[in-house]
Amino acid sequence: MSGKISTLRNRAETGIAQAWQRRGALAWALTPFAAVFAAASGARRAAFAAGWLKSVRVGVPVVVVGNVTVGGTGKTPTVIALVEALRAAGYAPGVVSRGYGARVERPTPVTPDTPARLCGDEPLLIARRTGVPVWVSPDRVAAASALCAAHTDVDVIVSDDGLQHYRLQRDFELVVFDHRLGGNGFLLPAGPLREPLSRRRDATLVNDPYARTLPPWPDTFALKLQPGDAWHLANPALHRPLAQFAVPPASQGVSPAQPGGAGPGAPRLVAAAGIGSPERFFATLRAAGLAPRTLPLADHYAYTTNPFADLAADTILVTEKDAVKLAAWNDARIWVVPVEAALDHRLITLVVEKLRGRPSA
């Protein structure tokens, strides 16, 4: 039953995402509700700007990496890369996050051994990849304050998401888009926008695996995600270059009567992803010369059931975000594909100079 529900959810999310890319009948029909949403969210922003609702400075500079659209855009690899860049610039960064699905009622530290079901998949991945202090809480002000109190050496906070969490004062706002950009340009629920595209920010990052022209927005940079060698889930010390997973397309044929790739003629190589835009992961693999059968899953897929149990495949490639929820699985077919975000040095300079209080050249 849960598998059917997940499939229906995936189809619904895909249908909504497609509808949000164009100004069709459904989008226009929902514009009255979008107007209500715009009025409510605009009033909230104005209340913070006027000081009627109080924002809090936590004592160290804050960089928010977020988005104005619904869904994943590549924020997590961006946060990881930005943390490393700030550390290289001499800072001691810490990270705060809401932690999607996190079961916490108060600010909670995340260690590499914290179960993903307690802290959320993205904070756990950030903690494992960076080694910096990571704290989660629905209240990012509380999370940042607790982190700074526990780690007095931390001198800059990077907020994973939280662009609309105006109570946390910030020194730099980095808005991340993927290839969908602002979709049809409508606010929720008629489109994917939480805030207008014209919203002020310090810089924009576009994660587009299709390498299209960047939009003509000020201080806009391309985000390049480079895959690394895959590592084996059951034996993380075992690494393989992606090229070794290449399979001739002729051996990958699957008939429509074989949903999910089960049964005779199933593909040897399957790629699965429970991220905001699974197609980004699949496009990355194709660009590396692979031709996998694809299994898109819902963002933050919980893996309470095993979607691979009846999958006839020799190898299953997953993202690091998925892998943090699969550690207890005994499936020798699963390999994890890490990605590294390459940030433009001009963007890093812009962030550092803003934090140091100097104008950008």
Q: Which of 248, 210, 206 is nearest to 223 (CA)?
A: 206
Residues 209, 233 share a domain: no
pLDDT in tens, 89-145: 999 999 999 988 778 889 999 999 999 989 999 999 999 999 999 999 999 999 999
Domain of 292, in residue numbers: 229-337
The bridge status of strand 134-136 relative to strand 239-240 is unpaired
**Is the residue at 279 inside a domain?**
yes
Helices (H) and strands (E) in the chain, counts: 10, 15
Residue 252 within any structural domain of the chain:
yes
pLDDT tens digit sequence for 236-284: 999 999 999 985 544 444 333 333 344 444 458 999 999 888 988 999 9
pLDDT at res. 259: 37
CATH number at residue 10: 3.40.50
Coil, helix or strand at residue 233: coil
For residue 212, being part of any structural domain is answered with yes
Query: Using omega within 30 degrees of 0 as the cis cutoff, is the peptide bond preceding 196 cis?
Result: no
**Structure-model confidence comparison of residues 319 and 19, the more confident one:** 319
Q: Are 154 and 92 in contact (CB under 8 A)?
A: yes
Length of the chain: 361
Same domain, 215 and 296: no
Q: Rounded CA gap, 44 and 32, in Å?
A: 19
* Residue 31 lies inside a defined structural domain of this protein: yes
Do 79 and 210 fall within a single domain? yes
Decide which of 301 and 168 is more confident. 168
Residue 262 lies in a domain: yes
Based on the domain organization, do 200 and 296 belong to the same domain? Answer: no
CA atoms of 100 and 78, how far apart (whole Å): 17
Answer yes or no: is 360 within a domain. Answer: no
Note whether 140 and 209 are same-domain residues. yes
Residue 361 lies in a domain: no
Whether residues 133 and 44 share a domain: the answer is yes
pTM of the model: 0.88
Q: Confidence class of residue 170 from pLDDT cuts 50, 70 and 90?
A: very high
Q: Are 168 and 159 in contact (CB under 8 A)?
A: yes
Q: How far apart are CA 157 and CA 192, in angstroms?
A: 28
Mean pLDDT, the chain, whole residue set: 88
Pull the structure tokens for residue 229: 């060698």
Asked if 305 and 161 sit in the same domain, the reply is no
One domain for residues 203 and 288: no
**Does residue 10 share a domain with residue 38?**
yes
Q: Helix, strand, coil % (nearest 5) of the chain?
A: 35, 20, 45
- The three-state DSSP-derived secondary structure of 55-101 is CECCCCCEEEEECCECCCCCHHHHHHHHHHHHHHCCCCEEEEECCCC
Number of domains within the chain: 2
The reply to whether 38 and 164 lie within a common domain is yes
Q: pLDDT tens digit string along 173-228?
A: 999 999 889 999 999 999 999 999 999 999 999 998 766 788 888 999 999 889 99
Place of tokens 């699963």: 334
Contact 308, 331 (CB under 8 A): yes
Distance CA 260, CA 6 (A): 13
- Do 73 and 158 reside in the same domain of the chain? yes
pLDDT of residue 208: 83
Instruction: Answer yes or no: do 318 and 214 share one domain.
Output: no
